[in-house]
Amino acid sequence: MSEDLGVKRMSDELISGEFKISSISSDTTGSRCTSFSRMSFDLPTSSPEQAADLKPYHRSSSISSQVTRRRSNLSFRDFVMVRQIGRGDIGRVYLCRSRHGADAGRRFAMKVVDNEALSVKKKTQRAETERKILRALNHPFLPSLFAEFEASNFSCVVIEYCSGGDLHSLRHKQPHNRFSPAAARFYAAEVLVALEYLHMMGVIYRDLKPENVLVRDDGHIMLTDFDLSLCADAVPAIESPSSSPGTSRSPNRVSRRSGYLTSPFACVFARFFRSKRIQTTSATRLFVAEPVAARSCSFVGTHEYVSPEVAAGGAHGNAVDWWALGIFLYEMIYGRTPFAGASNEATLRGILKKPLSFPTAAPRCSAESHARNLISGLLQKDPDKRLGSKRGAADIKTHPFFNGLNFALIRSMTPPALPPPPTAARDHKPLPFAGF
C-alpha cells in the first residue's frame, strides 16, 4: 500500500510540477543487489572523455516510422503509473501502462530522471548519453525506445517492459544458485551478440552484470542501463581468420565518423547484414567492428565486474566489455564472481593481483571445460592479450564453447525455462490516481 501511495504522489507531482530533487535519491541500494560492490559507480577523473555522435541506421519499415511518430506525440498523461520496479543513481523506473490507441493496456517501463538533481550531482551528461544511445538502438536484444518526453523538470524515457526479471534474480532461483552450462551458454551468446552490435555502433557498454540483463516474456534477453557507456568510433571490416589481429584494415576500412563508405563490403555495416552482397563473401571471413582506438580514464563500472585496467586507475577501452563477459559467464556457472572480496578495496586488489581459480580442480563435463577455457581467455589481466580485445565478438564466437550454435538464428532458439512470474492484481488493474 505504501508503494502504491508513493507512485500516486509521484504521478500527481509530475503533473503539477512539484516533484522535488529529493525524489531521486543518491542512495544506490537496490533490492536486487546483494552487496554494495555490485552497484554501478561513476568516479570521473580530470581527463573527460569525448563522446562521439551516434549515427543510427533505422529500418525504413512502417513499424520504425510508427515508433518515431509516437515519440513525438506522447506525453506523461498518456500512461498510467502502476508501481516502482527499479531505482538507480540517476533515476527511478516505473511499471506503467499505455492509455490510448492500439497499445492501450500494454505494459512499459518508464525511467524518470530529475534534471535538477542531475545538475546538482553533475551527472547530466550520463543521462544524455543514455538517451542518445537509446535513440540509435535497433536490435532484438536491446531496448526499443517507445517514447521520450519532458514532464515538468523531469526527463522520461519509455521502453519495453521485461516481465521475466533479471538474471541476477533468476540465478538465485536456480538449484545451488547457478545456471547449467547449457543455460549459461545461451545467455552468454545473446549477451555477446548484443555487445557485438553495441561495439559496431561505437558504444562500449561498461556496465555488464546480471542485474542489467533483463529477460523478456519469451525468455530472450535485453541489456539495459547505458548511462555509463562510452561513445566512440568503430571501424568495420571484413577480415580473414588467418590474419593477425590488429593488422591494418585499410583495404576494407569503413569510417563511421567521416560519414562515407569506402569499402566493397560497406553495405555490410550500413545495412546491418541485410544486403545480398554479404552472400558473395566467403563463409570463413570475419566481420570485425571494434572501437579499438577508444580510450577513457573514467573510473566507472561495478566493482566485482571492473577490469584490471580500470581497477588500476589507468586508461581503458573496448576490452573492458570482454573482461566483464568473462566475469558474467563465471557467475552464471558458479554462482559467484571470481575476485569478490570482503570490501570494495579487497575486490579491486583481487582483480589486480589474485590469479583466476575455479571452485573445483576438474570440470564436471566437457561443456564446463570449454567454459573454463573461454573464461580464462576473457579474464586475461593484460587487455592486449585478452580474447576479443582486437577483433571482438568475431574471435569469441569461434570458441569451442559455442560449437554448434548458430548465432544468426539464436533469436529463434528455445530459451531456458523460466519460473512462472508472480501474479499481482496491481499489475493488471489501474490504480485510482488523482489528477489523471
| DSSP secondary structure letter of residue 365 | S
> Pairing between strand 107-114 and 92-98?
antiparallel
pLDDT > 60? residue 113: yes
2-26+55-161+422-427 has which CATH code?
3.30.200.20
> What is the rounded CA–CA span in Å between residue 217 and residue 420?
10
* Spatial CB neighbours of 187, under 8 Å, sequence gap ≥ 6: 167, 179, 213, 221, 332, 416
| Confidence label for 295 from pLDDT (cuts 50, 70 and 90) | confident
Per-range mean pLDDT, top range of 34-43, 61-70, 251-260, 408-417: 408-417
The pLDDT tens digits of the residues spanning 337-396 come to 999 999 999 999 999 999 999 999 999 999 999 999 999 999 999 999 999 999 999 999
Side-chain half-sphere CA neighbours of 228 within 13 A = 26
What's the whole-number average pLDDT of the chain? 78
What would the mean pLDDT of 103-132 be, rounded to a whole number? Answer: 91
pLDDT value of residue 337: 97
Helices then strands, counting H and E runs in the chain, come out as: 12, 13
Report which of 133, 86, 78, 126 is spatially closest to residue 106, judged by C-alpha positions. 78
Amino acid at 66: Q
What would the mean pLDDT of 185-205 be, rounded to a whole number? Answer: 96
| Confidence label for 263 from pLDDT (cuts 50, 70 and 90) | very low
Question: Model pTM greater than 0.85?
Answer: no
Catalytic residues: 207
pLDDT value of residue 294: 85
| DSSP secondary structure letter of residue 133 | H
pLDDT value of residue 12: 56
pLDDT > 60? residue 6: no
| Confidence label for 31 from pLDDT (cuts 50, 70 and 90) | very low
